[in-house]
Chains A and B, each alone.
Chain A
């Protein structure tokens, strides 16, 4: 009995940690400012909030769509946390998603996978997506260990390059653009064949949760265990705290940088694969629009905890869905969601000072 009491008190302490409280306070304050902005724009706050709620939990479809968004944010966010353990800041989620989406489309459309048995039609494109993301992030890793290039600037530049590469792919018939039958043919790929689409958990399109959800939950659990309980997790942390001391202890800095960035990239690529195979089915320009940055913010907000990433990813998934509906129904631009996110990041970065200067 006392044991249960003790563990309850302990977990309560975990939830009520100052850093968690400050995160919650920052989110609430930013949301409040969002409401104030809606008011200032002269839009009925009630209408806007009603549209927001309708877009998040109004229908089973809205719930599933929000969760599917959260999956992509969570994967990118977990990748960010892994890199951040080694004191790396991977801001290239956007490009890693784009490369994953491109690879998944290419393999699903032209890889002759549709006729394969037993899940292979979608598993192979997913694998291709993860590998594409992995390779893309590895460029930043190699530059970091060979030339000492700051990974922030390299992953950012890689994102711009990937996003324009995506544009190139959907603009050129010799790459992924669908055959031009008329001048009105849209700059996008063909729709991927049915067998390559991710199976839905319920099999029902009115509640389109796909298998990305259980996969992401498993990845999150594995990542949390690896980071907290394994030698590898400890080595990452050691490199993050003090690369010189870590290398004296026999831990290779280069290996840790490469592996953690590659893992983050693979998760980003997988996120792109899930978005394409589970949700969008057609590759278009702007495919990754802002998903990488939302994932990054989720990672930042989580302050190193995988559970925190999941919470933040869910928050942003629903926030984005609600924001989109708010734009369509109440005429409030989705840019409002960006304002809220930016405020959260800035507030938390500044607040770190007041809770003992923990690294974000």
Chain B
């Protein structure tokens, strides 16, 4: 592998990992607080759709991003109400929301774009950080990326710091591990969990926007193709830590990048095998490569005050 190809590979791995990184970090916070959010898949799809429509209608990708975040909020709120206030089965509600969103976005897409499908949509601009962008070969291929990537990385770092060093982090962690203790200390468990789910919604919205107006500048029906589930697998593989989740998502991103990279190297591997590679890797990851799993103790269990 030449240096050029290596640089392209690293660059595209990073780019393909971004949606997983963002959604995975959101999911991590929500799971730490005790809510298993299968609906990040649907939230990402909502985000991808709303960002595309918003950017197309206003001509401004930035407004598209704003519209995207606003559009995902009700979806996140629905998941939060169902899993906290109504104490519904979180897996069932998540899957229901995903089916609903897949149907609704497909329907709305056909209504709005109809025959004009696959239209180019104004996308977010690219940016190179100073110094890093000037490195020969790597500067252009690795660091010249959509600015949302850098903003996203900053949010992820911030999330890690908040989780680790602040009282907010302790409360989030406790809401998923010892909800009764949180309640006794006078903090409302459902309140913490609502915020966790809404944060996951916010991050999934960014992830979806990155897919549509950040990466390929268009929307296709069901374009998330299970990226949300990969992000959840990333959280499990990363043992519910920010660092672990980030590494897992980068790994899945690299596995996805291989399908574009190997053919250029003249290595003949069936395309389908490469496409399934991230899912296969995720399955191996959740199936024991990570060792015994240490999920938050109250994960998926709605809190009931006695």
Contacts and interface: CB of A to CB of B under 8 A. Distances in A.
The answer to whether A and B assemble together is yes
A309 B292 CA distance: 35
Nearest to A359: B89
A153 B286 contact: yes
The winner among A340, A350, A359 for most chain B CB atoms within 10 A is A350
B229 interface: yes
A56 to B, nearest CB: 19
Given A157-B279, A171-B271, A349-B89, A339 B103 contact: yes
B95 interface: yes
Given A300-B92, A350-B88, A149 B276 contact: no
B107 interface: yes
A42 to B, nearest CB: 9
A353 B88 contact: yes
A5 interface: no
A297 B270 CA distance: 33
B53 interface: no
Contact of B287 (A147, A336, A345, A346): A147
Contacts of B102: 335, 338, 342
A333 interface: yes
The winner among B81, B102, B293 for most chain A CB atoms within 10 A is B102
A93 to B, nearest CB: 12
Given A164-B272, A171-B271, A343 B279 contact: no
A345 B99 contact: yes
Taking chain A's interface residues, is the majority helix, strand, or loop, or is none over half, making it mixed? Answer: helix
A181 B276 CA distance: 28
Interface string B276-295: 10011011001110001100
Contacts of A172: 270
Contacts of A89: 91-92
Contacts of B48: none
Nearest to B289: A147
A168 B273 contact: yes
B286 A154 contact: yes
A352 B283 contact: no
Interface of A: 37, 41, 89, 91, 143, 146-150, 152-154, 156-158, 160-161, 164-165, 167-168, 171-172, 293, 296-297, 300, 333, 335-346, 349-350, 352-353, 357, 359-360
Given A143-B283, A349-B88, 6 more contacts: A147-B292, A160-B226, A168-B270, A339-B103, A340-B103, A346-B82
23 contacts: A91-B91, A147-B288, A147-B293, A148-B292, A153-B229, A153-B232, A154-B283, A161-B279, A161-B280, A161-B283, A164-B273, A167-B275, A168-B273, A296-B95, A338-B106, A342-B99, A346-B78, A346-B82, A346-B96, A349-B92, A350-B82, A350-B93, A352-B88
